[in-house]
Structure formats: C-alpha cells, structure tokens
C-alpha cells in the first residue's frame, strides 16, 4: 500500500505531522508563543488553531521557563505536549526545566515516571537576526543524558521524526534550521515514522566520509556533486540524531572511506565534531584512517549582524569543497 507522495516544504511537513499526531491521539496538544492566530513566527503551526481550536493550540504568554515547565508537568501526568520555542536561542531561558527536570525526572524517580514531551527549536543563522536569534545550541542539549536530540534535514525526515518523537516515551528535542523551512521535498501522506537514533547515508562514496547535520547535509551533498567532476567520491552521512548517536553507521562509513570530515553550523569546538571525531578515535575505525580528521564548524564568535560577516561565520559550500579536496589530496 503506497501512500501518495507530494512535494511539501519542511514547515508543511512538520505541520502535517502535528495534525496527524493530534488526530491520532487526543492527548497531543501544542503550546508556544504566537502559534495560534499568528501561525507561529515561521508559520509552522499555520492555521492549525482553526482546525483544532485554541484549547489544543495554546498561545502561551512570553514565559519560556514557565511554559516549558508546564509542558513537562503535563507530559509527566499523561498528556503529550509539543512545545514550540519561538527561536532555539530562548532555550536558554528554559534550561532549568529542560535540563534539571525533564531530562532527569524518570531517572531520579527510579523509573516510576516518564516525560513524553516534544520540544521544537527553530535554530541557526542566515536570516540577519544577529547574535541572540541565530545560534545553534543543539550540542548543549545533546550533552544531557535523559534527552534525545534530533536534527532532521529533509521534509521527509522532519515529518517522520516528529511522529517518532511524539510516540517516544522520553523528552525529544527537535532542532529545525530556519533556512530549511522553505525547502521542498517528497513527503508521503499519512502516518509513518523515521527512527530516532539512526543516521542516514544520503550519498555513497569511496574517498571521504562527510558527517553532516541539519542544513549542512544539503551543503555537503552540493559539495559532493561538485567534487564528483574532480574524481573525488564523497560519502555523505546525515547524522539526524545527535543523542543517542548512531555510531555504527559512521564507523562503518569511515572504515570504507578511510577519511572523515564533520560539517556542522554550531561553533566548531566542544561540539558535535569533537564528539564524532573522538568516537571514531576510540573505535576500530581509527586504524583505517589515512589522514587526520577534519572539522568544519562555525567560527568562535557570536553570529554577527552584517550579512557578509554572518556568512563567513558558518561553513559554506566552497569551504566544504576546499576542505574535502585538501583532505583527499593530502594537503594540510
């Protein structure tokens, strides 16, 4: 039974997933700032309030700590909230509830409870919104046992992983790059899930493994296409979940290609690149490496307002091409 496949934007795919989740389970509801009549800052909830009513598509006051805590409390006691942060940067205001409460509740209570909350975080730079509205903080949350942290990179995955998140008994944090919201791609109608904790090989290759996340997956694919004409065959692994990480897929890929590059938008150091690199260094794939691992990440600076500086702070396709070429050709 093949479901109809249409072209949807990433934002539409998320909206459809939320609608399906609400249709399937009356415990599912949405909370967030301006997600009702405004439709959400990025129009992800859109007109859902007209279809599901203000009792299930709840506009909160501008109260991130309280709002996140209410979602955690509701999840703890039987509901299935999906909480939208207006920008991922505002996770910083709600860290207490996410990190000290949601993540640890089940553990602290010896497995007597679970917290099936889903939180959505519009993330990343590229919109000219400057330092407090452009961050990539996924590694912050990825550091916390008890949370699951995902970064879907396509409309298909955005829908399937959100539905998997809603079905998941534990807190799932979804980082959605703002520049992906308009990206179109094939999305089947109806219910399906994409598993959390499973990476995806988006392109097979022999010479180099690029492990990328979120918006960098498409950039890595574009770079790989350009490198093909030079005879460089790149494998692109879309990590998709940063906690729990799919180590085996990355290890197997590196054993095949013998070279590893990590590409992500967040600040380069102390992040996902460090984790993936260390994981490989600790694994049997280490012996297969023909060259040092390369990380391409964001500059060690807040995101600047000036558009040229803003672009220069995160990896762009030409940066990936150059770094990949140097890595394969042994240039250091």
Ligand X SMILES: Cc1ncc(C[n+]2csc(CCOP(=O)(O)OP(=O)(O)O)c2C)c(N)n1
Yes or no: say if 181 and 124 are a contact pair by the CB < 8 Å rule.
no
Decide whether 93 or 226 has the Cβ nearer to ligand X.
Answer: 93
Single out the residue of 8, 28, 64, 181 in contact with another protein (rule: CB under 8 A): 64
Per rule CB under 8 A, is residue 270 in the interface with another protein? no
Give the CA distances from residue 165 to residues 40, 82, 97, 159, 186, in Å, rounded to whole numbers and listed in that order: 20, 9, 18, 10, 20
How remote is the C-alpha of 196 from its chain's centroid? 11
Instruction: State the number of CA atoms in the 13 A half-sphere of 32 facing the CB.
Output: 33
16, 33, 64, 235: the catalytic one is 64
298 contact choice in another protein, ligand X, none (CB below 5 to 8 Å, kind-dependent): none
**Partner from ligand X, another protein, none binding residue 302, C-beta < 5-8 Å depending on class:** another protein
CB-nearer residue toward another protein: 65 or 291:
65
d(CA 1, CA 6): 16
| CA gap 20, 190 in Å, rounded | 7
Which residue's CB is nearer to another protein, number 36 or number 160? 36
Q: Does residue 243 contact residue 273 with C-beta atoms inside 8 Å?
A: no
Q: State the binding string over 273-292 for ligand X (x if CB under 6 A, else -).
A: --------------------
- DSSP designation for 291: S
Interacting residue with another protein among 16, 84, 89, 265 (CB under 8 A): 89
Q: Which does 100 bind (CB under 5 to 8 A by kind): another protein, ligand X, none?
A: none
* CB 257, min distance to ligand X, A: 43
Counting residues that bind ligand X (by CB under 6 A) gives 6
Residue 64 annotated among the catalytic residues of the structure: yes
Distance, CA of 29 to CA of 36 (rounded, Å): 12
Number of residues that bind another protein (CB under 8 A): 36
- Give the Cα separation of 63 and 61 in Å (integer): 5
Q: Count H helices and E strands in the chain, helices first.
A: 12, 14
Q: Which two tokens stand for residue 201?
A: 């090989």
CA 31 to chain CA centroid, nearest Å? 20
> Which of 3, 37 has the CB closer to another protein?
37
- Cis, peptide link before residue 244, omega less than 30° from 0: yes
Q: With H, G, I as helix, E, B as strand and everything else as coil, classify residue 6.
A: strand
In the residue annotation, 133 being an active-site residue is answered as yes
Beta pairing partners, 32? 59, 84
Residue with smaller CB distance to another protein, 193 or 313: 313
65 binds another protein, rule: CB under 8 A: yes
Interface with ligand X in residues 45-104 (CB under 6 A): 62, 64, 86, 90, 93
Task: Please state the closest distance from residue 109 (CB atom) to another protein, in A.
Answer: 25
CB of 80 to another protein, least distance (A): 24
Shortest Å, Cβ 106 to another protein? 26
CA–CA–CA angle 244, 248, 249 (5° rounding): 95
Q: Does 301 bind another protein (CB under 8 A)?
A: yes
The catalytic site residues sit at 64, 133
- The residues of the shown chain that bind ligand X, judged by CB under 6 A, are 33, 62, 64, 86, 90, 93
- The residues of the shown chain that bind another protein, judged by CB under 8 A, are 33-34, 36-39, 41, 59, 61-66, 89-90, 93, 127-133, 299-302, 304-309, 312-313
């Amino acid at each position: 039974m093949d479901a109809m496949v249409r072209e949807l934007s990433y934002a539409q795919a998320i909206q459809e997933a939320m609608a399906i989740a609400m249709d399937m389970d009356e415990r599912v509801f949405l909370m967030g700032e301006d997600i009702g009549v405004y439709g959400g800052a990025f129009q992800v909830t859109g007109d859902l309030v007209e279809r599901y009513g203000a009792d299930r598509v709840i506009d909160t006051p501008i109260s991130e700590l309280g709002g996140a805590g209410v979602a955690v409390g509701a999840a703890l006691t039987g509901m299935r909230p999906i909480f939208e942060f207006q920008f991922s940067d505002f996770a910083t205001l709600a860290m207490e509830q996410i990190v000290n409460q949601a993540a640890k509740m089940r553990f602290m209570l010896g497995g007597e409870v679970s917290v099936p909350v889903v939180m959505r975080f519009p993330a990343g730079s590229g919109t000219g919104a400057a330092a407090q509205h452009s961050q990539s903080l996924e590694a912050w949350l990825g550091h916390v046992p008890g949370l699951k942290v995902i970064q879907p990179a396509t409309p298909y995955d955005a829908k399937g992983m959100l539905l998997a998140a809603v079905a998941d008994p534990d807190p799932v944090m979804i980082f959605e790059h703002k520049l992906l919201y308009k990206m179109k791609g094939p999305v089947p109608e109806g219910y399906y899930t994409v598993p959390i904790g499973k990476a995806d090989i988006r392109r097979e290759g022999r010479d180099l493994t690029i492990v990328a996340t979120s918006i960098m997956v498409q950039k890595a694919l574009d770079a790989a296409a350009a490198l093909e004409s030079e005879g460089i065959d790149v494998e692109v692994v879309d990590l998709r979940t940063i906690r729990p990480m799919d180590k085996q897929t990355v290890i197997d890929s590196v054993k095949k290609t013998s070279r590893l590059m990590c590409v992500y938008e967040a600040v380069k150091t102390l992040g996902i690149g460090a984790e993936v690199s260390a994981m490989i260094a600790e694994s049997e794939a280490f012996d297969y490496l023909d060259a040092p691992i390369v990380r391409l990440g964001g500059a060690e600076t807040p995101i600047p307002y000036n558009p040229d500086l803003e672009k220069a702070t995160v990896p762009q396709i030409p940066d990936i091409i150059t770094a990949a070429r140097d890595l394969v050709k042994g240039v250091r």
